[in-house]
Amino acid sequence: MASPRSLKFCLDESMGRRTAEILVAVRAPGHPDIYDMRAFGLANQATSDEVLLAELARQQMHVLVTMDSRMLAAAVRRDAWRASRLTLFMLDGKWGNLSIFEQVRRVFWWWPTMVAQAHDGPQGSAWRVSDAGLKHVL
């Protein structure tokens, strides 16, 4: 796996444009690169998860962070995710009801743990992120 500083994280459309902009703006040197869907021309609610996952793999992303807690609910999406080999962090569905500032604060709080799991954990694993912590789901 890549070193922590060379990991590439992508925040999907469910995270919102402003969240990605804030995280990119405060990213410290030596920490993973952060992208949002606009970087790949995928900032469109109509883009299917299957297309999204395949394109992120093609772009050599390592990690996808999403608030779509049901992303792996359908077998076709699980298959696309497995083929992509992306590490997936699914933020608890309740995060969508929080203000952008609270969402960013929580991502900051869990960021070191997510980076460590992306670096040290098995590539292509899936994690659910809640107030209680990270739970390996696949």
CA 101 to chain centre: 18
Tokens of residue 85, six digits: 């080999």
Q: Per-residue pLDDT tens for 23-80?
A: 888 777 777 888 888 777 776 666 788 888 999 999 999 999 999 888 898 999 999 9
* pLDDT interval class at 104 (50, 70, 90): confident
* pLDDT interval class at 87 (50, 70, 90): very high
Domains of the chain: residue spans and CATH: 4-136 (3.40.50)
In terms of pTM, does the model score above 0.85?
Answer: yes
| Residue 129, strand partner residues | 91, 134
